[in-house]
Chains A and B, each alone.
Chain A
Amino acid sequence: MKQKNLLIGIVLIALYGLVYYATEVAEIIDPFQQVNLYLMGINIIAAVSLNLIVGFTGQLALGHAGFMAVGAYVSAILTLKLGQPFILAVFAGAVAACLVGIIIGLPTLRLKGDYLAIATLGFGEIIRGLLVNIDYVGGAAGMNGIPKLTNWTWLYVFTLFTIFMIKNFINSTHGRACIAIRDNEIAAETMGINTTQYKVMAFSMGAFFAGVAGALYAHYFFLIQPTTFSFMRSFDALVMVVFGGLGSLTGSIIAAMAVTGLNAALIDFGALRMIIYAVLLIIIMVFRPQGLLGTKEFTLKTLFREKEGGCERVKNQPLN
């Protein structure tokens, strides 16, 4: 076990060094690829945090972009208007998103399935609608000239931090409780799990990391507008989660990279890009509705030894 952790540590540091060398020192990666690399990191954070809510706790949420918006705006206010350091701004943005998550989660998480999806969609739209009306943050024109503080080091650290925290959460007692709620809420409640508490916990934790993703986004693209965080961004994150497999962290990571890469690859098609994207999405859903990995995790072990016993989620179980 210790050896394995050491190996993973070495691989992660090597990956960091390699990309650092390629972008900052040798400059092999051109600006377009670099944008996509950063987007990949931000999307991984968004997808993994949404997977905690949708995939592991079974609460269908469509307002993730709203939390990203809160993180982005709060952090941008701190760096741009109040001159605070970047790291403080990111955490303030994340905490703000987390608080909004608790405020939204407490009343709405009593709703189930589609109703929760609609309520969270509504909240995402409300956050966006309010941002348009606040002159302090630029209204519809948004905030411009945010210092470009997101560099490869910060991005890498925050991405790893997110994955690490969520992975540990899922493997903890609390995470198990969340998975129990996903699989059968009534049974979980009967077993003495405080379902409301755990749902709010997972929801606010997802919101926290969505805030981190938003803050990183704001400080890389230096321009944020209310439309940046529209329903389509929530939907993008959901696509990554479902495509990778509900309840598979590695699935979300792979899917976030694949979808970002796909978007970049289709850029040459111009107007046809979104049409091809939509068709691919429909085809994937029709032929593999459970996603790339289902609830399995991708590890080197499963790669070499296929038949490993384990409990898999019952197929075709509706998400309620």
Chain B
Amino acid sequence: METLIAQLLNGLSLGSIYALIALGYTMVYGIIQLINFAHGEILMIGAYAGFFAVTALNFNFFAALILAMVVSALCGILIERIAYKPLRNSTRLAALITAIGVSLFLQNGGLFVFGTDFRSFPQAIPKVTYRFLEGAITITSHQLIILVVTIIMMLLLQYIVQYTKTGKAMRAVSYDKDAALLMGINADSVISVTFAIGSSLAAVAGVLLGLYYQTIHPLMGLMPGLKAFVAAVLGGIGIIPGAMTGGFLLGIIEALVSGYWSTNYRDPVVFGILILILIVKPSGLLGKDTREKV
């Protein structure tokens, strides 16, 4: 029982990080139908920005988080402008290859600039373990921070998408880009804003991952990126609540598999679930089925 609760809590914190990354994937996919493979690397940039903010600039944790978000958002916009914008009208495959190319570039650029060593992420917030019900439930301050920050970010995103003019424009462009253009919406700037928001969420995820695993590395974005992408597909790609559901679900499944079976089977199980879902319900858990018309 205690291990079950511990694993569920672990899964919840890991899942919330996946959910944050998945949100970026899903928003970008929803708006330009591009699987942004470089998303995991933006996360890595965010983590390093947070790292340098705490170590070199002596920022506190939350100031570092905000700086990381800004840096990553700028990176996201820059990548979109340089690499993806020229390909707006070419095949999806060309865009996909470019995205993987950008991801490769950032990975190896990271290895080149930051070095190949693992760096220990500063414990900007001391790790305290709280115990409830005579030790049956233990939760660390880090897990709490991860959960709270994630929930704040999700509420913020929900507010932006549902209640602001920018959010309305984003929804319009993702629904029908050409019609939105006719309505006087500047699709290019909307796409830039989407990339900025998605990238800053990835930066938050990066800093939280640093806090969670206590190390950062230039290739740290690779696996979480893929997993978060699986989470986005699981929930239904292009759907914001779907990304959150998928992320939490995946994190919990992963924690349970590692806790009760073996960490070696974690990745095969995750991808196995992905394929099962795709076969049973290709549009994801919360997606609607669309039939292709002739």
| A60 at interface by CB-CB < 8 Å | yes
On chain A, the residues within 8 Å of B87 by CB distance are 285-286, 289
In the bound complex, do residue A278 and residue B278 qualify as a contact, i.e. CB atoms below 8 Å apart?
Answer: no
| A119 at interface by CB-CB < 8 Å | yes
On chain A, the residues within 8 Å of B213 by CB distance are none
In the bound complex, do residue A60 and residue B93 qualify as a contact, i.e. CB atoms below 8 Å apart?
Answer: yes
A115-B272 contact in complex given A186-B294, A275-B108, C-beta closer than 8 Å:
no
In the bound complex, do residue B83 and residue A115 qualify as a contact, i.e. CB atoms below 8 Å apart?
Answer: no
- Closest residue of chain A to B86 (Cβ to Cβ) is A286
Mark the stretch among B49-57, B94-102, B147-155, B194-202 that contacts chain A: B94-102
- The B contact surface, by secondary structure, is helix
On chain A, the residues within 8 Å of B262 by CB distance are 133
Alpha-carbon separation in the docked complex, A235 to B94 (Å): 13
| A142 at interface by CB-CB < 8 Å | no
Mark the stretch among B70-78, B156-164, B263-271 that contacts chain A: B263-271
| A17 at interface by CB-CB < 8 Å | no
Alpha-carbon separation in the docked complex, A254 to B268 (Å): 35
In the bound complex, do residue B98 and residue A122 qualify as a contact, i.e. CB atoms below 8 Å apart?
Answer: no
Interface size on A, residues (CB 8 A): 46
In the bound complex, do residue B91 and residue A123 qualify as a contact, i.e. CB atoms below 8 Å apart?
Answer: no
In the bound complex, do residue B100 and residue A235 qualify as a contact, i.e. CB atoms below 8 Å apart?
Answer: yes
Sort A-B residue pairs by CB-CB distance and give the 6 closest, nearest first.
A289-B94, A129-B268, A278-B105, A122-B271, A274-B108, A289-B90
In the bound complex, do residue B271 and residue A123 qualify as a contact, i.e. CB atoms below 8 Å apart?
Answer: yes
- Closest residue of chain B to A139 (Cβ to Cβ) is B264
Encode contact with B along A153-182: 1 for CB under 8 Å, 0 otherwise. 000000000000000000000000000000
Encode contact with A along B237-281: 1 for CB under 8 Å, 0 otherwise. 100000000000000000000000010110110011011001100
Mark the stretch among A37-45, A92-100, A311-319 that contacts chain B: A311-319
Alpha-carbon separation in the docked complex, A318 to B89 (Å): 9
- Closest residue of chain B to A291 (Cβ to Cβ) is B94
Ordered by A's residue number, 16 sampled pairs between the chains whose C-beta atoms are within 8 Å are: A110-B282, A112-B292, A115-B233, A119-B274, A125-B268, A129-B265, A129-B267, A133-B264, A272-B112, A275-B105, A278-B102, A278-B104, A286-B83, A289-B90, A317-B91, A319-B92
In the bound complex, do residue A319 and residue B109 qualify as a contact, i.e. CB atoms below 8 Å apart?
Answer: no
A107-B279 contact in complex given A281-B104, A286-B87, C-beta closer than 8 Å:
yes
On chain B, the residues within 8 Å of A274 by CB distance are 104, 107-108
In the bound complex, do residue A126 and residue B268 qualify as a contact, i.e. CB atoms below 8 Å apart?
Answer: yes
- Closest residue of chain A to B223 (Cβ to Cβ) is A125
**Minimal beta-carbon separation of A203 from chain B (angstroms):** 15
In the bound complex, do residue B105 and residue A108 qualify as a contact, i.e. CB atoms below 8 Å apart?
Answer: no
**Minimal beta-carbon separation of A63 from chain B (angstroms):** 10
On chain A, the residues within 8 Å of B111 by CB distance are 271
Alpha-carbon separation in the docked complex, A118 to B25 (Å): 13
Alpha-carbon separation in the docked complex, A313 to B112 (Å): 41
On chain A, the residues within 8 Å of B112 by CB distance are 271-272, 275
| A246 at interface by CB-CB < 8 Å | yes
| B35 at interface by CB-CB < 8 Å | yes
In the bound complex, do residue A279 and residue B105 qualify as a contact, i.e. CB atoms below 8 Å apart?
Answer: yes
Alpha-carbon separation in the docked complex, A289 to B95 (Å): 8
In the bound complex, do residue A316 and residue B104 qualify as a contact, i.e. CB atoms below 8 Å apart?
Answer: no
- Quick one: which of B98-153 are within 8 Å of A by CB? 98, 100-102, 104-105, 107-109, 111-112
- Quick one: which of A110-158 are within 8 Å of B by CB? 110-115, 117-119, 121-123, 125-126, 129-130, 132-133
On chain A, the residues within 8 Å of B294 by CB distance are 186
Alpha-carbon separation in the docked complex, A54 to B112 (Å): 33
